[in-house]
Amino acid sequence: MNFFTIISRNCIFLFCFNFLILISCSNTDPNSSVLHKIGEQIRAARIEKGISQEELANAIEMTQSSLSLIEDGLATPVQEKLVAIETYLGVRFEYKEE
């Protein structure tokens, strides 16, 4: 197997993996206040710590575009990623709807 074959397969895998994450994270109700609240909390904590979306996304092994969708309340983070975000930022998010 040559170098380009390995790179091509890895790129295809990563693309498919990220696509599946986005599909599984898709929110059917874009006006969900819980998702917006979580997204706002993530964005506020990230900005307060002076961390860019790209830096946080790389740290938790997520694409920047996926993180952006979560912060905008348009995608639901999987529990594993939400815990990773909390751990990286050193915060706990409120999940309850008011």
Domains of the chain, CATH where assigned = 3-89 (1.10.260.40)
Q: Which residue has the higher pLDDT, 54 or 19?
A: 54
Statement: the pTM of the whole predicted model exceeds 0.75? no
pLDDT of amino acid 27: 47
Q: Around Cβ 60, how many Cβ atoms within 10 Å? A: 20
Q: Which one-letter DSSP state was computed for residue 31? A: T
Comparing CA positions, the residue from 17, 33, 37, 14 lying closest to residue 25 is 17
Kindly indicate the confidence band of residue 58, based on its pLDDT and cuts at 50, 70 and 90: very high
CA angle 56, 57, 61 (to 5 degrees): 120
The CA-atom distances, in angstroms, between 20 and each of 44, 66, 94 are: 27, 11, 26
Comparing CA positions, the residue from 88, 46, 50, 92 lying closest to residue 70 is 46
**DSSP H or E run through 37:** helix 33-48
